[in-house]
A and B are shown apart, each in its own frame.
Chain A
Amino acid sequence: MSPAFLYFLETVLNGLMTGVMYSLVALGFVLIFKASGIFNFAQGVMALFAALTLVGLQTGQVPFSHLINAIFGTEFHHFGWTLPAFVAVVGTLVVMVAFAYLFEKLVLKHLVNQEPIILFMATIGLAYFLEGFGDLMWGADIKALDIGIPSGGSFWLEDVTREWATEGSDYFGMYIDKLDVVAALVAVALVLVLTLFSQYTATGRALRAVADDHQAAMSVGISLRNIWVIVWSIAGFVALVAGIMWGAKSGVQFSLSLIALKALPVLILGGFTSIPGAIVGGLIIGVGEKLAELYVGPFVGGAIENWFAYVVALVFLLFRPQGLFGEKIIERV
C-alpha cells in the first residue's frame, strides 16, 4: 500500500476515535433534550465536575480545603489515602445522582411549564455555578486522571502497519492511542445499555413516554419530577464517562467544559433527539475535521480542525435543520 493511502487510513481512524469522544458529550445533551426539551448548556461543565470529583475522591483530596483552611487557619489538604479506581467511580456516581436530585428540587421544580428559553437560561446559570463550585470544592489546578485505562500508541499496530507500506517508503506505522480505542468501546457499550434500558424496562418506557407527551404521561400516573431526576442522573453518568475519557486524555482542567461547544455541531448533524444521531454525528465531525486538516489545511495555513465542524453544521442547518436522524419538524398553520 502506498504511504499516502495509509496516511489517509490513519487519519480516518483517528477521526473516528475523536468523533466518539465528541459523541460521548453529545449523548448527554440528547438524553436531557429528549426527555424534557431542555438544551442543557451545563453538560460540558457536568463532565468537568464529574472528572474533578473523581480525581478528588481517588487521591483523597479534602473537599473545600482552601475554604476550610482560610476560615479556620488550618493546613488540611489530604486525607492521606488513595481509593481504588472502582470505589472512586461509584462515589462520583453517587455525587452526580445527588446533584441531579438537588437540581430538580431547587431549580427545575420551580420552573415547570415555563418556556424552553427560561429552562435554557437556568442551565447556563447551572454551568457557571457548577464551574465555580467545582473550583471551590477541588481547587483550580490541573490534575492527572488515572484510573488504569491503557493509553499511548500501540507498538503492535505500528509494526503491523509498517509492513503494509511499500518497500523503502518512509512510513513509520500507524499511531492510534489505546485510550481512544477504549473510549470507542465504552461509547458503544454505553449506547447499547441505554437503548436496552429505554426499550425493555418500565422506567425506560416512562422515559420515552415523557419525551413524547408530558400531559399524557402525567395522566397515566408518571411523575415528571421523578423522571427528571432519573434523566439528569443518567446525564450525570454520561458526563462522568465523558469526563473520565477526556480527563485521561488531556488532564482534568477547566477548559474541559469547552468540549460542550464541540458537541453542538455534532447535535446539529445528528439531530437533537436521536441517540444514534449523536454517535453518527460525532463520527462524521471527527473524520471530517481530521481529513480537512490533512488535505485542505496546507492551502489555508492549517488549524482547520478548530472551525471546520461549525461550518459543516452551518451548511447542514441550511438543508436539513432537523439533523440526520432528528424528528421531522412539521408546523401546522
Chain B
Amino acid sequence: MNRAVNPRDLNVHHDDGVAKGDVLLEVKDVSLRFGGVKAITKISFDVRKGEIRAIIGPNGAGKTSMLNVINGFYTPQEGTITFRGVERRAMRTTDAARQGIARTFQNIALFKGMTTLDNIMTGRITLQKSNIFAQAIWRGPALREELEHRHRVEEIIDFLEIQHIRKVPVGRLPYGLQKRVELGRALAAEPALLLLDEPMAGMNLEEKEDMSRFILDVNSQFGTTIALIEHDMGVVMDISDRVVVLDYGRKIGDGSPDEVSKNQDVIDAYLGVPHE
C-alpha cells in the first residue's frame, strides 16, 4: 500500500514517542477476580513496539480476560497497565480505543446489519473530528473528512482483498470473511497496538494461511504492534516473535517460541503430568 506524503495521512497513533523495540505496553502484577473466581493472578509481561506477541495457554487460562483488561472491558483489582508511558488501572474502553488500542473478538463482534464498508468505516470513529451538526448538513470540512476516511478504508479493503464484498451486509458473509472484515475494522483505527483474539479459530488451512499472511503484512508494512491469542501452535510458533504462556490465570512461560516450547512447565500444562 502506498503512503502519501500528505501529513494529514500520517498515522497519528504510530507517532507515539515509543521507539521500535522499546516497551509499548507493560502489564504489571495484574490480578482479576470475578467474585471468588480468580481469572488472572499476578501476571506481568510486556509488549515491545513492532513485535508480534502471542499469548497462549489451555482453555480457561485467562487469555481473553487478559485482552479484556488491556482494552478496558475489565478493571483488574490489582496491578497496573502502562501503555505508551501512561500508567493506569481502570480505564473506559472508549478511552483505550482513543489511545490506539484496537481489537478483534473470539466470537466475531461485527455490526451484522451493516455492510463491509460501513463496518470498516466505524473503525475510524476515533479519528473523526467533525461534530454531529457539521455532519448533519453534509458539507465543508465534514464532507472532506468523510471522503478522506473513505479513501483510507478503501485502501484497507484492497489490502485485505475484500473488494468484492464491500456492499454486502456482513451477517451474510461466511465465517472466514467475517474474520477478515473484523481485522479490517481494527486496522482502520490505525492502532498502535492491535489485539487479536483467536484470529484463526474455526478456519480451514487455506483461510489460516491467508490470515497469517495478513497478520505478518500488517506487522511488517504498517509496523503495527500485535498481541494475539491463538490455539494453533504451528501458527503461533511461525509468526510470533515472543510468546507468553498462561495456565489457570498464572504465567508459566515467557520467551521466544523456541524457549517456550522447551519449557517443562509449558509442556506439562499442555500434555498433562503423569500420576506418580
Contact = CB atoms under 8 A, between A and B. Distances in A.
Contacts of B124: 202
B111 A219 contact: no
Interface stretch (B3-11, B40-48, B81-89, B98-106): B98-106
A212 B97 contact: no
Interface residues of B, number: 35
B193 interface: no
Interface string A190-205: 0000000100111111
B201 to A, nearest CB: 17
A209 B128 contact: no
A219 B110 contact: no
A202 B125 contact: yes
Interface string B137-156: 01000100010010000000
A202 B97 contact: no
Interface stretch (B115-123, B221-229, B254-262, B265-273): B115-123
Contacts of A219: 71, 73, 93, 97, 102-103, 105, 109
A75 to B, nearest CB: 42
A143 interface: no
Interface string A212-230: 1101111111111000001
A71 to B, nearest CB: 39
Contact of A220 (B113, B125, B135): B125
Interface residues of A, number: 25
Nearest to A213: B109
A212 B94 contact: no
A220 B102 contact: yes
B189 to A, nearest CB: 7
Given A213-B111, A219-B109, A230-B132, A205 B94 contact: no
A206 B123 CA distance: 10
Contacts of B113: 208, 211-212, 327
Contacts of A200: 138
Q: Which of A201, A203, A209, A221 is most buried by chain B, counting CB atoms within 10 A of its CB?
A: A221
A238 B189 CA distance: 33
Contacts of B142: 201
B126 A208 contact: no
A224 B125 CA distance: 13
B114 A220 contact: no
B56 to A, nearest CB: 22
Contacts of A213: 109-112
Nearest to B128: A202
Nearest to B113: A212
B135 A212 contact: no
A205 to B, nearest CB: 5
Contact of B111 (A203, A209, A327): A209
B122 to A, nearest CB: 5
B136 interface: yes
B185 interface: yes
A215 B71 CA distance: 11
Nearest to B94: A223
Interface in B200-254: none
Given A208-B111, A209-B114, A221-B189, A201 B136 contact: yes
A216 B121 CA distance: 13
Contacts of B102: 219-220
B123 A220 contact: yes
Contacts of A205: 114, 118, 121-122, 125
Contacts of B122: 205-206, 209, 217, 220, 222
A200 B146 CA distance: 9
Interface string A175-201: 000000000000000000000010011
Contacts of A206: 122, 125
B77 interface: no
A274 B111 CA distance: 16
Contacts of A218: 73, 93-94, 97
A223 B189 CA distance: 15
Nearest to B119: A209
6 contacts: A211-B113, A212-B112, A219-B93, A219-B105, A220-B189, A223-B94
Given A206-B122, A208-B113, A219-B109, 15 more contacts: A201-B135, A202-B125, A205-B125, A206-B125, A212-B110, A216-B110, A219-B73, A219-B105, A220-B122, A220-B123, A220-B185, A221-B94, A221-B189, A222-B122, A223-B94
